[in-house]
Chain A
Amino acid sequence: EVQLLESGGDLIQPGGSLRLSCAASGFTFSSYAMSWVRQAPGKGLEWVSIISDSGGRTYYADSVKGRFTISRDNSKNTLYLQMNSLRADDTAVYYCAKYPSLVGAFFDYWGQGTLVTVSS
């Protein structure tokens, strides 16, 4: 059974930094691209970033480019999102999602999410 377990969400002040983690199990982690998708309170889904299976290719939404960094440790089956220069509009539930096909552009498994609140 595929499982994705996010952690690291917290209340953080504007301008601060936070690192999210996503522990994966139930599939060959190193064979699949992974992604972060966020959802602000009461709002829709917003794609954040994708990393290829090897970690050699990364993509970012314009809203986070230059501030967020996606990475992975295939030896630990873990995905990360380093978030710097956080702003109030980064407040959201952050979901880790498995991205099985760079062609198909879909997310077949999602974690339960971790809440990031940016506020003073």
Chain B
Amino acid sequence: QSVLTQPPSVSAAPGQKVTISCSGSSSNIGNNYVSWYQQLPGTAPKLFIYDSNKRPSGIPDRFSGSKSGTSATLGITGLQTGDEADYYCGTWDSSLSSVVFGGGTKLTVL
């Protein structure tokens, strides 16, 4: 059971927008930055968002991150079939003194 809670799956049509939520508590999301990772099948995770809302170089601006209170959200606009992947949120948990991840969300682009 993950410390951070994500929906197991989300889906949307090509060209549409989708959001993926990540819920935590004051000991993790509430007081720390959130990161998001994309994992394509059979590959290593790749950083897509860090410091809650910043994109690394090379990540399209179709991807965005936000944080409010003890929850964070990854937004993806203009969905493409290549966006189909598992997405994970992560942060530091000050009570556990550990990095914690969400259970992952499988994005299907119908």
Given A59-B98, A62-B98, A106-B50, A44 and B88 contact (CB-CB distance below 8 Å) = yes
Q: Which single residue of chain B is at the shortest CB-CB distance from A6?
A: B44
Please name all residues of chain B whose beta carbon is closer than 8 Å to the beta carbon of A111 when the two chains form the complex: 44
Contact status B88-A47, CB under 8 Å: no
Docked complex Cα distance between A110 and B44 (Å): 7
Q: Flag whether A68 is at the interface (Cβ < 8 A).
A: no
Q: Which single residue of chain A is at the shortest CB-CB distance from B86?
A: A44
Docked complex Cα distance between A110 and B92 (Å): 18
Q: Flag whether A56 is at the interface (Cβ < 8 A).
A: no
Contact status A44-B45, CB under 8 Å: no
Interface residues on chain B, number (Cβ under 8 Å): 26
Q: How large is the interface on A (under 10, 10 to 19, 20 to 34, 35 or more residues)?
A: 20 to 34
Given A95-B45, A106-B47, A113-B44, A44 and B2 contact (CB-CB distance below 8 Å) = yes
Task: Say how far B27's CB is from chain A's closest CB, in angstroms.
Answer: 13
CB contact list, B54-110 vs A, under 8 A: 56, 88, 90-92, 96-104
Contact status A59-B97, CB under 8 Å: yes
Contact status B33-A35, CB under 8 Å: no
Give a binary string over A44-71; 1 marks a CB under 8 Å from any B CB, 0 the rest: 1111001000000001011000000000
Give a binary string over A66-105; 1 marks a CB under 8 Å from any B CB, 0 the rest: 0000000000000000000000000000010000000111
Contact status A50-B104, CB under 8 Å: no
Contact status B45-A50, CB under 8 Å: no
Contact status B97-A107, CB under 8 Å: no
Docked complex Cα distance between A46 and B88 (Å): 11
Please name all residues of chain B whose beta carbon is closer than 8 Å to the beta carbon of A50 when the two chains form the complex: 99
Contact status B33-A45, CB under 8 Å: no
Please name all residues of chain B whose beta carbon is closer than 8 Å to the beta carbon of A104 when the two chains form the complex: 33, 35, 50-51
Contact status B56-A108, CB under 8 Å: yes
CB contact list, A1-51 vs B, under 8 A: 35, 37, 44-47, 50
Contact status A106-B104, CB under 8 Å: no
Q: Which one of A35, A104, A109 has the highest number of Cβ atoms from chain B below 10 Å of its Cβ?
A: A104
Given A59-B98, A62-B98, A103-B33, A108 and B104 contact (CB-CB distance below 8 Å) = no
Docked complex Cα distance between A113 and B96 (Å): 26
